[in-house]
Amino acid sequence: MSRPELVKKEIAGIAEYVPGKSIEEIARKYGLDPASIIKLGSNENVLGPSPKATKAVIARAGDINIYPSADASELVEAISVYTGFPVENICAAGPGMDGLLDNLMRMLISPGDEVILPLPTFSYYEIAARANGAVPVYVRSGDSFAFDIEGIMKAESERTKIIFLCSPNNPTGRLVAEADLRRILEHTRGLVFVDEAYVEFSDRNLSHLIREYDNIIVGRTFSKAFGLAGMRLGYGLMPAWIRSEYMKIATPFNISVPAIVAGIASLSDASYLQRSIQCARDGRTFLTKNIPFRVYDSQANFVLVDVAPLRSKDVSEALLKKGIIVRDCRSFREAGETLVRVTVGTPEQNNKVVAAFKEVSATI
């Protein structure tokens, strides 16, 4: 029995978020040894967490009967030191940056408001916005997935509430140019959410613009460069007026005790962060040069591969059978049928990835 009429109508047309595949799932499906599987489908940190974070979590394991501090102030202090912004500009958030997005959508969207989505991009924006009654307005990117800035500005209407810009963009790896972001901030009547989940791997960031504009929010995460995807920890940088409103509606105690201490410990481990960044940068240069298909320039810890004339479905399945998990991008709106996203691995993993792509390309 089911009674779908009880669920609010905004939910009906939403397609479920498609995550990268797990090691357990692939081991079972293809009869592989889980220890032999290389997981490069979710852009996690392939070096594991910082040992300092692991130690901090273990040290606090006896305290999990106690609620964390409501505003995670000790973590916010540490983020303030790391980013150089005062605590008035920082909201720590859980679960992950996705939790920040959820709270923001609850705070900002009234039914019928429009959100502008340059495509292809991270699919959770659309889910979080539509669940609150937003109407998505899509803007397809141009050649080589360059953001269509004119198109984004033309999509603006009386109802525009949020423009989502992911920089570096998932799944394309492209940055938003600062001059373009300034034009959009000055043009829109709404807010711009700049997703910098991968910013540590890139040459530039855009967060300084929160000092100049009152309508920008920058989202960050500990899931990628800081290696804490399993902790579900993120944060936002924003003008103080937005933070004040946000704090009114944020889910109480949304960051767990282990996540708070792991976050603080990770921020204190500068050499781990440096190693993670170097590993991703060296590896992405190697993959870009050696994968025998078109590879787009990336500023993140993944590369986007166009496997045409092959199909992404067939190529990702061929790699899965060899125990390499990559991301078939068909679940990204407007990504087509030939794109595969590969997380940059360790040097040893990258060699295996290149060898696997070469075997697949030999079948053309």
Task: State the residues that interact with ligand PLP by CB under 6 A.
Answer: 43, 96-98, 122, 166, 170, 195, 197, 221, 223, 229, 234
3-class DSSP state for residue 48?
coil
Q: Is the peptide bond before 171 cis (omega within 30 degrees of 0)?
A: yes
Least Å distance, CB 266 to ligand PLP, is: 13
Q: For ligand PLP, which is the closer residue by CB, 254 or 323?
A: 254
Phi-psi region of 294 (alpha: psi -120 to 50; beta: other; left: phi over 0): beta
Closest CA to 221 of 95, 48, 47: 95
Smallest distance, ligand PLP to C-beta of residue 154, A: 24
Nearest-5° angle of CA 214, CA 204, CA 146? Answer: 85
**CB of 339 vs ligand PLP, minimal distance in Å:** 15
Six token digits for residue 46? 């392939």
Q: 291 burial class (0-12, 13-18, 19+ CB within 10 angstroms)?
A: buried
Beta carbon of residue 36, minimum distance to ligand PLP (angstroms, whole number): 25
Question: Residues 334, 140: contact at Cβ < 8 Å?
Answer: yes
**Closer CB to ligand PLP, residue 164 or residue 286?**
164
Least spacing, CB of residue 331 vs ligand PLP, in Å:
13
Nearest to ligand PLP of 218, 318 (CB atom): 218
Q: Which is nearer to ligand PLP, 43 or 50 (by Cβ)?
A: 43
Query: 160 vs 172, which CB is nearer to ligand PLP?
Result: 172
Question: What kind and span of H or E run contains 105?
Answer: helix 96-108
Nearer to ligand PLP among residue 219 and residue 323 (C-beta)? 219
254 versus 312: smaller Cβ distance to ligand PLP: 254
Positions of E strands within 7-75 = 38-39
DSSP 297-342: --SSSEEEEE-TTS-HHHHHHHHHHTTEE-EEGGGSTT--SSEEEE
Residue 169 Cβ, how far from ligand PLP at the closest point, in Å?
7
Contacts of 177 (CB under 8 A, 6+ apart): none
Residue 225 or 318: the one with the smaller Cβ distance to ligand PLP is 225
Give strand pairing partners of 96. Answer: 233
Distance of closest approach, residue 68 Cβ to ligand PLP, in angstroms? 17
> What span, in angstroms and rounded, lies between the C-alpha atoms of 14 and 127?
7
Minimal CB distance residue for ligand PLP? 96
Smallest distance, ligand PLP to C-beta of residue 20, A: 10
